[in-house]
Chain A
Amino acid sequence: MIRENFEKNMLELQNKMGEMVEATVVAMEKAFTALEKQDMTIALAVIEEDADIDALENEINQMATWLMAKEQPVSRDLRRILSMIKMSAEIERVADFAVNISKSTIKIGKTDSLLPLTSLVQMKDISMDMLKKALKSFVEEDIVLAKEVCDLDDRVDEKNYQNYKALIDSIQQHPEQAEEIVQLLFINRFVERTADHITNMAESTAYFIKGELFDLN
């Protein structure tokens, strides 16, 4: 095959993005474990380990820059590299939200009266499902799956709105817990933003596949 080496480099880049997604899913799951178990050690670990994900994004950027300089990709190859640069930036933001959630967990601290987290956890589950699908749709060049990712964002938005209302009610009913509930409101927002960034990833995938800019949600 012509350009075998280039193909190999592109695959490496894609694998690095896969690694980033994997690490980010782990970070988000740990952030929620920390929240649910009120475990400060785990929360601190998420904050600390974020540097590894940042480093991966850096590696992707450097590698992509070098590939563009030496291979001068055009057309589909160029769109593929550009999409990977954009997507890695989105993944990095998602990982930052895991950090933000961990910081909120630390602010809430130990409490005997933590509100039920079921709905937030569901939101997180949908988001992480979106993240895995966003990666899969890119790797397998599956535009239908990319569209599905964007549709899932509607469910996250819906839950976000319900949670918001429920938490505002809780503040009114339990003003003494206001500080904790405000942190939960933040977390609600962080997860909602997470899903938005993943939607952007799916749009980058659609651009890579079709060569057109889409607003899929």
Chain B
Amino acid sequence: MVMMVTEVAAVNKQQVSTASAQSKILVDDLNLFYGEKQALFNVSLDIKEKEVTALIGPSGCGKSTFLRTLNRMNDLIDGVRVSGNITIDGEDIYASNDVIKLRTKVGMVFQKSNLFPMSIYDNVAYGPRMQGIKNRKVLDALVEESLRGAAIWDEVKDRLKTSALGLSGGQQQRICIARTIAMKPDVILMDEPTSALDPISTLKVEELITQMKKDYTIVIVTHNMQQAARISDKTAFFLNGEVVEYDDTNVIFSTPKDQRTEDYVTGRFG
């Protein structure tokens, strides 16, 4: 088939645009108040699709609060007020009151694994069942796919019916990740997902995060700066509720532009 010059140009343009990272989450001038106390100040971030974005900063700097605004977890706290704009795929997430739909799209993994006291299989199948999936074969396939996606299938495939609480801390955290994946989210938020894990389990989860970014947009809060340096593409440094600096991770950890970032990443304060 002969292509016209204009068609070739259009195809080339398309290839270029798919090669560069697209914006997934756009945060514009976000302010958050706990009653009278302001916790976030004019936060604006452009979070790219299928990249890992790390949020770092000292305790109380607002990074977890910010993370929770992305799936509206702060709505559960009394007296929280938010101004500004957050869009995911161009859709304002505060415009609709359907937070269930939002949290299906934006999954979350917490610091400590919060598995239900049920079998490994039932933990992973819980979300899909809640959504009304009852077909055994569909559920089986989804559970296997999710456990494989969380790099733990080989370790648990012969004990799917045993209690998830009998697993090690690192395994439990990966089951939490599998449970999140089972909901087929676009975005996965992680709030210090390895801080309760031993070094080897930490490395396994880090490896998993690196693999997962081909399918998901991941935003992770971490106190471990080496972890942020190892696994993230972009890093935002929060301080006193503001974003001091947001750039490619290698810039943040090699030649940060702001002295406060420099002082924090080199361990001079925080």
Can you list, as one digit per residue, whether each of A72-92 has a CB less than 8 Å from chain B (1) or not (0)? 111111110000000000000
Query: Contact between A79 and B254 (Cβ–Cβ < 8 Å)?
Result: yes
Chain B residues with Cβ under 8 A from A75's Cβ?
A: 253-256, 262, 265-266
Q: A216–B269 Cα gap in the complex (Å)? A: 34
Size category of the binding interface on chain A: 10 to 19
Query: Contact between A76 and B226 (Cβ–Cβ < 8 Å)?
Result: no
Chain B residues with Cβ under 8 A from A212's Cβ?
A: 255
Query: Contact between B269 and A74 (Cβ–Cβ < 8 Å)?
Result: no
Selected from B225, B254, B268, B269, the residue in CB contact (under 8 A) with A78 is B254
Is B26's CB within 8 Å of the partner chain A? no
Q: How far is the CB of B130 from chain A (nearest CB, A)?
A: 43
Query: Contact between A74 and B268 (Cβ–Cβ < 8 Å)?
Result: no
Enumerate B218-232 residues with CB–CB distance to A below 8 Å: 225-226, 229
Query: Contact between B255 and A74 (Cβ–Cβ < 8 Å)?
Result: no
Nearest A-chain residue to B264, judged by Cβ = A75
Q: A74–B230 Cα gap in the complex (Å)? A: 12
Is B90's CB within 8 Å of the partner chain A? no
Is A174's CB within 8 Å of the partner chain B? no
Nearest B-chain residue to A72, judged by Cβ = B226
Can you list, as one digit per residue, whether each of B246-265 has a CB less than 8 Å from chain A (1) or not (0)? 00000001111000001001
Is B35's CB within 8 Å of the partner chain A? no
Can you list, as one digit per residue, whether each of A95-113 has a CB less than 8 Å from chain B (1) or not (0)? 0000000000000000000
Is A3's CB within 8 Å of the partner chain B? yes
Chain A residues with Cβ under 8 A from B262's Cβ?
A: 75-76
Of all A-B residue pairs in the complex, the 7 with the closest CB atoms, nearest first, are A211-B255, A74-B253, A77-B266, A3-B267, A74-B265, A75-B266, A75-B265
